[in-house]
Structure formats: structure tokens, C-alpha cells
Amino acid sequence: MTVTPKIRRLLNKRFLLIALAAIAISLVIYSWLVSSLAWKRTLRAAGFVDELPEPGRGDRLLIVAPHPDDETLGCGGLIRQAMANGAAVDVVIMTNGDASEWSVLLGEREIPWNPANLIELGRKRQKESLRALSEAGVSAHHVHFLGFPNNGLVALWRPEHWRHSDLYQSPYTRVAFSPYEQSLTPDAPYCGQQVLSDLMAVMHVVRPTQIYVTHPRDIHPDHWATSCFVSYALATAEVKGAEWAKSAQLWGYLVHWPRYPAPMRSGLGLELLPPPELSGAEAQWYRLPLTRDEARRKLAAIRTYRSQGPRFDRLLQSFARQDEIFEALSGKELKPGAAAQWRTRNAHRRGLGGAEVRGLSLRVGDDLVAEAKVTTAPRKIPESGYVCLDLRTWDEHLAPAIATVYLRALGQAAAVRLEAPSGPRPLAAEVDADTPGKIGITHLSLPTKSQAGQDLFVTCYGSVKDRLTDPAVASWVRFRRDAAAAR
């Protein structure tokens, strides 16, 4: 068959078009690969490990929120995906958000609010959470309100208000028992033992495979205290032999941090990235992508919380983005001679900020002596600065703590308050006068035995100046001694 010049020209033109199309497609694929790799490098630089797998049938999620709205801000997209995929979702809300927000913003100054009005605010916020969660498919039977005091969870975590004999009274609602009809425990007493009991009651019913709770570095006091309670409850369940607790995954979501989310504005196409201070090689962040429709529905759910607007509209709506982020909170095992360290940078936001703590460290020496230091350098530590070291076991006779030490600085070189049970070795506290920005607890002797197989639950935190939020840094470790070292 003879190919005419005309046919040859047509074939050449078609070949050229095919070649150009192939080149264009290749460029698109190359560009996508390059941008994808660049995005993955950005994620790795921010401390991201991978994308969070979508929960599916067989998964049991427990979402724990300090206040009504936190569950949607941090996990609204996750909840919707889980319900759509057939996973089970239960939500625990620690407080009803019944403190005056203006009092919060003004730094816990005494404002003569009517307690009855604030209790009614708590009921209103309960209804807002139920409405938002029902739209995501979570029924009211799977939403558990605990009814503890807003801005009081840190007080309940501390030994002063742990036992039923030492109840805490909310300065806002003026009550020491939950006034809400819709509480997991009717008339729940305001103490740490009751918080732990309620959390464990829900956990044993749900037997979660995954638990999502506010991040331990969140600068709102209710948020990091909630993280402490949940971590301790999970560890307690594991110590007591609950099989589900051994494999349950613990995840942290962040709500309060300076200039977070960035930029602080509504934008469904924006990505959510962890703050630089919480990023880096040691971070374990995972990203959950959301579709445009999921992000839009999350924004609609956020707008359900009308009691929080319009003062906080800009902040709340900035959480509706094309993803949600979570950090794996597996806890740290700290062995003798090792150290754990947390750093932050001027973690301060008006009304919610944690003063100016720059770093906090915990060290356990080979001689089983603990040391904790808080650093504000180059700034000086004022009178109200303090560092706290809290060690707990699972021995009910010793609960809640075998040693809790508060060390406050007066001026720059004097420790004015030091509390701890007497031990075989004396306690010592020091303020580094040569470096005014440091204060520390040293020579805290650890017990030779504990019921939990040589395990201790440790929280370590410190703060400067801020009355409302107190600690700016909070975290926890599980201290473990080798069996040979314990003999």
C-alpha cells in the first residue's frame, strides 16, 4: 500500500499530537510527584509520620473533650468519617463549660456572676454538643457528660482535692457537686477520685481501640489536665489487667496554642500544621485528610456552638480545614540515668496562656533520685513561679501520690514552699542564684517498690506569673526500673 504525502502529513501530525499529549501528561505526573514529595518533606519537617488511617468497622473510638465544642474542633472530621465507615464512637465531655468566659479572659479576676446563670450556660452548651454530634451520627446515648467544674480540672488533679473528703468548690457555680441532671454520675462530687472513677467506668464499657484526648502540651489548664486524667486512667486499666487497655492507641489533638491554627481564619482549603514549637524530628504527628464536603460539614457543626460566638468565631472556624492532626501519645518510659525534657517558647495567649516557661526537664539518676527544673531564662522568676513534681503509683493506700513537691521562688534565691512525704533520704530544693531564670527540685528519693511492677506515673510541670492557667508545660512518663535493680 502506497502512503501518499497527504496521509503521511496527517500521520505525522497525529503522532505529534500524541507525543505532545504524552509529554503534557508526563509533565503533569512529574509535577504531581514533585509537589507530593515536597509536601511529604514539609510534613516530615513538621514532625508528621504518616496519614492517619480512616477508622472502620470494628474500631471503637473514645473522644474525650474538656469542654463542649472541643470534640468538634479537634475531631469533628474524624467522628464523621468513623460513623460513615461503621466504627463505634463514644464522646466524653469533662465539663459543661460553665465558667464565665469574660472571667477567663480577664485572668480569673473576681467578677460577681450569678451562679444560676452559669449553670444554665452549662445546660445550653450540653445541648449544643448533642446537636452537633447528632448531625455527625452520634446518638445522645453515646455522649457522656461528666459535669466537673470548668477551669477546675487542674485543682482536681492535684492531691489537695483528690479524695472525696477534700472536695473542690467551683468559684463560678458555687457548688462542689455536679448540678446537672444529665451527668454520668448524678451529683458527682468534685474530686480527682471521682474523675478517675467516671473515666474508667466509660472506658470499661466502651473498651476503646483508640482514644483521642487534648494534647498534654495544650496551654489551657483544663486541656492538659484532661490529658493527665485520661493517660492515668488508661494506665490504671492496664495495670489492673484490662486486655483492651494494652492495645488501645492514645492520640492527642491540639486546641489552644499561641497563633494556632495559622493563619487564624476560616479557610476550607487550608492545611492544619502543628506549631513549630511542637514540631520536629521527635514529634509523632499524623494527618487525617478531609474531603471538601467533610470540611464544610465540620464548619457547619462548629457554628452550632452559638454560646461561644461572636467573640471566638474567628478562632473556632479556623479549625475547619482540609485535614485534622493528631500526635501519638504512647507515653515515655524513663529508666534510671535517663532524662525527659520538654521545651516551649513563650507559650502565652491572653486569658489562656501559660506564662513564659521556656523549658522543663525531669531526670531520674542511677541512685533512684529524681530532679525537676523549670527554666525561664533569660527572664527572672518572680515570686509566683513554681515547679511541681508529682509521682503516683497504683497502690490504693498511697493514692493519689507518693510524692508531690511544689517549689516556689521568692525573689531569686529562696525556696519558700516545699511539700513531700518523709522518706529515707532528705528532700532538698534549690534556686540557682547564678542563673536567675532557673528553679529546681533535687534529691527526691524514689520508693524502692510499687504495686505496679516498678511502674510510677509521673507528671512534671511549672509556671510563672499566670494565676489562671498555672502550668505552661505538662507531660507524663512511666518510670520503670529493671527487676534486677529493684532487688
More confident residue, 314 or 143: 143
Q: For residues 337 and 313, what is the distance between their CA atoms, to the nearest angstrom?
A: 48
Q: For residues 381 and 439, what is the distance between their CA atoms, to the nearest angstrom?
A: 8
Q: pLDDT class for 487, splitting at 50, 70, 90?
A: very low
Q: What is the pLDDT of residue 466?
A: 47
Q: pLDDT class for 392, splitting at 50, 70, 90?
A: confident
Q: pLDDT class for 459, splitting at 50, 70, 90?
A: confident
Q: For residues 331 and 249, what is the distance between their CA atoms, to the nearest angstrom?
A: 11
Is the pLDDT reported for residue 446 higher than 70? no
Q: What is the pLDDT of residue 358?
A: 60
Is the Cα torsion angle 413, 414, 419, 423 positive or negative in sign?
A: positive
Assess contact for 123 and 177: CB atoms under 8 A.
Answer: no
Q: Average pLDDT of the chain?
A: 78
Q: What is the 3-state secondary structure (H, E, C) of 321-372?
A: CCEEEEEECCCCEECCCCEEEEECCCCCCCCCCCCCCCEEEEEECCCCEEEE
427, β-bridge pairs: none
> Taking CA 348 as the corner, what is the angle to CA 252 and CA 352, rounded to the nearest 5 degrees?
70
Is the pLDDT reported for residue 306 higher than 70? yes
pTM attached to this predicted model:
0.82
More confident residue, 111 or 400: 400
pLDDT tens sequence across 157-171: 988 898 899 999 999
CA distances from 35 to 30, 31, 213, 458 (A): 8, 6, 32, 43
Q: What is the pLDDT of residue 218?
A: 86
Q: For residues 249 and 326, what is the distance between their CA atoms, to the nearest angstrom?
A: 12
Q: What is the pLDDT of residue 354?
A: 40
- Residue bearing cell 474500631: 59
Q: Pick from 43, 472, 475: which is nearest to 258 by CA?
A: 472
In sequence order, the 6+-apart residues with CB closer than 8 A to the CB of 116 are none
Assess contact for 228 and 278: CB atoms under 8 A.
Answer: no
Torsion of CA 482, 395, 331, 409, to 10 degrees: -100
Is the pLDDT reported for residue 90 higher than 60? yes
Assess contact for 225 and 196: CB atoms under 8 A.
Answer: no
Is the pLDDT reported for residue 369 higher than 80? no
C-alpha cell at 96: 459543661
More confident residue, 207 or 239: 207
Q: Pick from 223, 262, 232: which is nearest to 64 by CA?
A: 223
Q: pLDDT class for 9, splitting at 50, 70, 90?
A: low
pLDDT tens sequence across 104-133: 444 334 455 688 888 998 999 999 999 999
pLDDT tens sequence across 274-295: 888 788 767 789 999 999 999 9
Q: What is the pLDDT of residue 18?
A: 77
More confident residue, 254 or 359: 254
